[in-house]
Amino acid sequence: MSSWVQGLLGHQLSYKAREGACHAIEDYVHRLREESGLLRMHCYRATLETVIREVKPELRRPGVQAIKKAHLLPFTEYARLGLPRVGLPPDLPLDTCRVGAMLRQEGRVVVYFSVALLLAPVV
């Protein structure tokens, strides 16, 4: 953030605004057109954050950081790598039926994040 913006009262950006700012729209459009597996990460992250909030409700935005090549992993491996980042055991039992139902919503999650990115410059 520029020093000028930092000097403004109330300059803090929301989590969504910061998230939107870190994506190059051209790259994202390419991923949408190619139906890239990289978009799966939005659904993985949303699913894992839901699991985390069920165990630790005080974590509103768990902030699971990027996991290298996560789009190539099955969700269970992604969760095993992500859970310790928020202080949970990697072998935390997962409700496979519930997780599967959430993962089947991948298309809806991608639409949500796409709309959020489109609106981010307006916010």
Tens digit of pLDDT for each residue in 73-98? 999 999 999 999 999 999 999 999 99
Q: Which residue has the tokens 């859970």?
A: 83
Tens of pLDDT, residues 35-74: 667 778 888 999 999 999 999 988 877 777 778 888 889 9
- Structure-derived torsion over alpha carbons of residues 89, 50, 112, 70, reported in degrees to the nearest 10: 20
3-state secondary structure labels for all residues of the chain: CCHHHHCCCCCCCCHHHHHHHCCCHHHHHHHHHHCCHHHHHHHHHHHHHHHHHHHCCCCCCCCCCCCCCHHHCCHHHHHHHHHHHHCCCCCCCCCHHHHHHHHCCHHHHHHHHHHHHHHCCCC
pTM of the model: 0.69
